[in-house]
A and B are shown apart, each in its own frame.
Chain A
Amino acid sequence: MADPSVLPWYAALLLPVLLGGVTWLALVGDALFAGERAAVAAPGREVARLLVGQRRRTVASDALLGRVGGAVLPVAALLAAAVLPLGERPVADLSVGVVWFNAMEVLAWAAVWLVGWGANSAPAMVGGYRFVAQGLAYELPHMFAIITAALGAESLRLTTIVEAQRDLWFVVVMPVAFAVYLLSAAAMAFWGPFDAPVARDVAGGAAAELSGVDRLVFAGGRWLLLVVAAAMAVPLFLGGGAGPLLPAWAWVAVKTAAVLALLLWLRHRFPTVRVDRFVPFAWVVLIPLTIAQALAVALVVLGGA
């Protein structure tokens, strides 16, 4: 018998298509923010250009690790989206959904280092190492923020977390965790002010020696990671599909679009910040802040229960 709390099995095959479509729309939105003409066709132009581009091979490159890293980045993003409630039901309602999402994001972090390593090129290595430092620093506040949401619902299952927000959204109960989550989501997808790993001062950083299809896969993986991280803010903090009038999936789409618009605007508003400016901020300010937030929520939960 089909389990009513998860989508049917063929939804797993439709998930990449759906996420690809959302990523396309995000790219259009980014082009609109940048003020490009014919923004609707901007992703199509980029994809076509990269598909016909020539792939690059460097001397004594570690092709095995580089290609594995490039392939794992989008796959990890897709696997992380498997626990995302699309409307009311996710593709896979794991009892440890929050930890699974975290594990897949960390896998994407390792994949970017592999891409930087595989090219046997100094700027690529520098970009890879920048991302290792940045990811490590922002992973802990990220973890604490999503654990605070799980703490508020007393469960690691994402559908239970959505259920627990029926009366009050978590963004009201734990605003600090929500703000830190948005910041760390941008940092983990090396987006916006946090794109030092692929910045111009290291000739494109981790993606320096990528060209053609390799670059398409890498850039696609990075966009997918951003979209999935933004979409995960909805069940964790913004009440999932709750809302009047529209069905659950429509509300999820609207809220995801709002969070994505905020993250896209962030990139066009702020320049790239140097790594040694924002990494100590994560270690020294954000970690105690998120721990204090978790303590506050734990006291509320213990007091209420």
Chain B
Amino acid sequence: MEGVNVRLVKIRKQFPSLVAVDDVSMTVPEGSFFSILGPSGGGKSTLLRIISGFERPDSGELYIGGKLVNDIPPNKRRTNLVFQHLALFPTMNVAQNIAFGLKRQGLAKADITKKISKVLALVDLKKFEQRKIHMLSGGQKQRVALARCLVLDPTVLLLDEPLGALDLKLRESMKLVLKRLQARVGTTFIYVTHDQSEALTMSNMIAVINKGHIEQISNPLELFYHPKSYFTATFIGDNNRWDGHVKSINKNGNCTVQIGGRSFEAVMGEEMVPEDKVSMFVRPEMLRIGVSAQSEEIRGKVKEVVFDGTYTRVLLNTMFGDQEMEILVKVAQSEDPLALKEGDVLSVCLKKGIGTVFLHRELQDAQTEL
């Protein structure tokens, strides 16, 4: 297959107490920053370990660079893994850590030294060769771990939630560092995380995984605006979830949903028929304060206003007919803070056909909206 680095075909891995990976198939485009996003225990780490070779799948095939690699041990695969806690060798300094893989390949000393200084420049750690590991800061350790893998020019670079131990500011800057690095080097990155902001910031493509199943594989914008499953709709970002039932299927392919006393036109996320119990998802960012044409108007009373540093979250109470509803609206900050307080009456508008509808489900975990 052209332009595909990693291909999984019906990979399955079962442990005594649970099925970690349940017949997963996916392809990772060459040169992309590909994230596997999912809640803890969802199977993403197992998937990563299967790709790197530390776990063997019970069934299915794994192709890396076009080759079937099921039986190839991790030290012979052209993949490299940045471990969650980095796993830098404490008895060696920076240069020796980076040289480790190169020595296995039998490179000459002079070549090794050259490559080390090149890769250190790449991760912005020039002249760090002699530093001891314990004298590095968190961010510096990250970059050494990256360098150690990148210097080997792998077909795929795997990253296992590497930013977890960093504080907020550092994490934010590392996200950009990683994104730019990947773009510059061109190596396929497969990045595993439970943190959606990491995935959304850095990735070209995201695979959302839950309980061993792939829910959706799309680019970040697609994922945000057009979730393809109930889980994705609730897992990614905040979402208003309005429960109701299908009133009719329209000629343009959308449906009309009845929620309380009101009806809305919306996109169907999956197959459905009239009378089905459904949930309609509307992102708080898509509700605008004020009125406009081509939009449904919703009037309500402000219940709560919370400023969270980036957005103002406004909780609105309203009635759909005789059904009471709570609506979350997110307003980005501008020059002046929003002049809203509890009890104010407010109009928000919702563009026609912008919500997405899925069949109603009960989710076990607290992976729900709001």
Q: Do A and B truly interact?
A: no
A positions within 8 Å CB-CB of B: none
B positions within 8 Å CB-CB of A: none
